[in-house]
Structure 1
Amino acid sequence: MQKLYGTVVPMVTPLTENDEIDVESLKRLTDHCIDGGLQCLYPCGTTGEMMYLSAEERRLTAETVVRHAAGRVPVFVHVGAWNLKDTLELADHAVKIGADGIGVVTPAFYKLSDAAIEEYYVTIAKSIPEDFPMYLYGIPQNAVNDLSVDVCRAVSRRCPNVVGAKYSFPDMTRLQQLMTVRDGAFSVLVGPDHLFEAVVAVGGDGTVSGNAMCIPEHYAALWDALQKKDFVLATKLQRRTNILNAVMCENNNIAAYKVILKAEGVISTTRVRRPMENLTEEQERQLLQRMRELDYRVVPA
């Protein structure tokens, strides 16, 4: 079964000034990520403002990305929603439109037991074809519920199509524990991309990085260095991305991504879905000025 690897891009969801899905910008963003040398696309995730989109908007977004990518890179659609019914419907939709797989965040808001989270994931995994891959997604700082190693072991044992996990909390111990699931065959990706090099060096499969949309050449070069096990160069590239990412993530990182992508002509507006906040005009000006002062397109050799 297909697995995620390298730099996986949790794409922003471009919006029009009328607060609708900007399909043409979404197509340009898809091309931008693929042409930038990034390995996989992941629409409708946290960076895509998933919980602020309707199910209909998420279906439109997923379908646009899958069809426009046209098999050039794998596309895994994030389908986790506020309730099980919507999650199941979005998972079924991802299968029908020809996505390569899905990701599912832990249930959010209400604190649940590991047993409840396990059954939630098993229900979803068994609702899709047994050869259709699914990733578990833990982001406890947002979702309240954590993704434990025990849950990953139990779900992957009961559902062979659960092939891995994206873990978005900077805990190297947990990440390495996840790598022992299914005797090391469980795919593990890190959300905090300052750990990209470290996670791959100890056996992980890559990172899920929103920052990569704005500086794709850096992530393409970093993945290439890691593939070649050139850790001297990889460390140099990792430190460079950390500096750039700190600037992008100083305020609302999703809003910052949209500012940079609009400045580059990739998307048409900087609009984010309310109640999320756009950057102020002064914040936008400072962001672009600082990125340009850092010569953010230059990749260390």
Structure 2
Amino acid sequence: MAERLQGIFTPNLVPLDSKGDINEEVLRKYVDWLIEKGVHGLYPNGSTGEFTRFTFEERKRIVSIIADQTRGRVPILAGAAEANVKETLKACEYYAELGVRAVAIVAPFYYKLGPEAVFAYFREIGRNTPVDVTLYNIPMFASPIDVPTVQRLADECERITAIKDSSGELPHMIRMIQAVRPNRPDFAFLTGWDAALMPMILVGCDGGTNASSGVVPEITRKLYDLTLAGKLDDARKIQYDLVTLFDTMLYSAEFPDGFREAVKLRGFDMGHGRQPRSEHQEQDLSILRRTLQCSLADHGFTQEPIGGCPVGEGSADETADVRNIVMTVVSELQKKGML
């Protein structure tokens, strides 16, 4: 029996060239950098990697490039979520040939399905996949996977070995662990919500697929290590910092543009994402770029930008700006009933 998935798996962003095609050279450099900075694994074709904006052949190529560049140094959890069971199983077969550790499959999307339909969907995949499957629960975009469904799938399908939960709900994670782990000690629980990484680990989560680890892998890895070591005061400080940065990247631009802009500040030419942007959005990103530059500089992660914010000396005004941006965006989301 293989060891269960553990640690920080980075949802890989995909750099694009001036024509909007996959920039293989930058992607390979990005993979090496992430591994050197200490992430435990890589997670291509996730939400942060904008998997829906690539073709099936492009998604296969992304995983192929990453598997070739990784050369077994860290395990790969490859997103294999296609629009139907047949194509999803084709993806599973191809990624198994590449030697990935497991695949992550989102619940059926577009059509909102009930628990029985979600169970039948994953059972069909679980009975026919040649590679271990991680369930991917992201209820804001796809049919939710409830606790009884996770338990039934874990009991009936040996190949279903983990769940990645991006709901951010701590009680939901606790209920899943309580329901599944007694019968499946090999079953892994990963959180996709960076703002709750520390408490998730404390209640028994094995790690996370955290978008912030694609920008500040050092911080995310350190938070994981400190939490496991029981150094909770130090871990708490890092978690607070991570929440501020995560919220800024998540809520101040269309997802995942904030993360793409932040990675550029770490020295990688990510290019323009596949989603077209309006002039107003471009202006917003320009402001966000400045805010992120100062936030990262305050933690010693970028060179001094033009106009200020020296490394290690981020101003109180900039910190207030970050807080105000986050509060404003959250307030607007609450008004729209999205929080």
Structure 1 length as normaliser, TM-score?
0.92
Secondary structure of 1:283 counterpart: helix
CA distance in 2, matches of 1:279, 1:23: 30
Counterparts in 2 of 1:18 and 1:149: CA distance versus 1, 3 Å: same
Conservation of the 8 A alpha-carbon contact between 1:137 and 1:166: yes
Counterparts in 2 of 1:278 and 1:216: CA distance versus 1, 3 Å: farther
Counterparts in 2 of 1:142 and 1:268: CA distance versus 1, 3 Å: closer
Counterparts in 2 of 1:70 and 1:210: CA distance versus 1, 3 Å: same
The amino acid across from 2:121 in the alignment is Y
Residues 148-170 of structure 1: per-residue CA shift (max 9 Å, x gap) = 11111111111112111011112
| Matched residue, 2:262 | 260
Counterparts in 2 of 1:89 and 1:276: CA distance versus 1, 3 Å: farther
Conservation of the 8 A alpha-carbon contact between 2:194 and 2:210: yes
Secondary structure of 1:81 counterpart: coil
Q: Return 68-77 or 4-13, whichever deviates more.
A: 4-13
The amino acid across from 2:237 in the alignment is K
Conservation of the 8 A alpha-carbon contact between 1:2 and 1:101: no
Secondary structure of 2:274 counterpart: coil
Q: How does 1:1-301 map to 2 (within 5 A)?
A: 1-129=2-130, 132-143=131-142, 145-180=143-178, 181-183=180-182, 185=185, 186-249=187-250, 250-269=252-271, 271-274=272-275, 280-294=281-295, 295-298=297-300
Secondary structure of 2:141 counterpart: helix
Whose RCO is larger (CA < 8 A, sep 6+)?
A: 1
Residues 279-301 of structure 1: per-residue CA shift (max 9 Å, x gap) = 8443333223222323353499x
Conservation of the 8 A alpha-carbon contact between 1:188 and 1:206: yes
Counterparts in 2 of 1:277 and 1:217: CA distance versus 1, 3 Å: farther
Residues 248-275 of structure 1: per-residue CA shift (max 9 Å, x gap) = 1221241122222223332341x11235
The amino acid across from 1:174 in the alignment is H
Counterparts in 2 of 1:51 and 1:111: CA distance versus 1, 3 Å: same
Conservation of the 8 A alpha-carbon contact between 1:32 and 1:266: no
CA distance in 2, matches of 1:278, 1:162: 45
Secondary structure of 2:13 counterpart: coil
Secondary structure of 1:9 counterpart: strand
CA distance in 1, matches of 2:90, 2:278: 29
Counterparts in 2 of 1:70 and 1:126: CA distance versus 1, 3 Å: same
The amino acid across from 1:42 in the alignment is Y
CA distance in 2, matches of 1:242, 1:38: 19
Conservation of the 8 A alpha-carbon contact between 2:253 and 2:285: no
Structure 1: which 5+ residue stretches go unaligned? none
RMSD between superposed Cα atoms in Å:
2.0
Conservation of the 8 A alpha-carbon contact between 2:262 and 2:292: no
Secondary structure of 1:179 counterpart: helix
Counterparts in 2 of 1:161 and 1:298: CA distance versus 1, 3 Å: same
Structure showing greater radius of gyration is: 2
CA distance in 2, matches of 1:168, 1:278: 31
Counterparts in 2 of 1:277 and 1:122: CA distance versus 1, 3 Å: farther
Structure 2: which 5+ residue stretches go unaligned? 302-311, 313-339
The amino acid across from 1:236 in the alignment is K
CA distance in 2, matches of 1:253, 1:24: 24
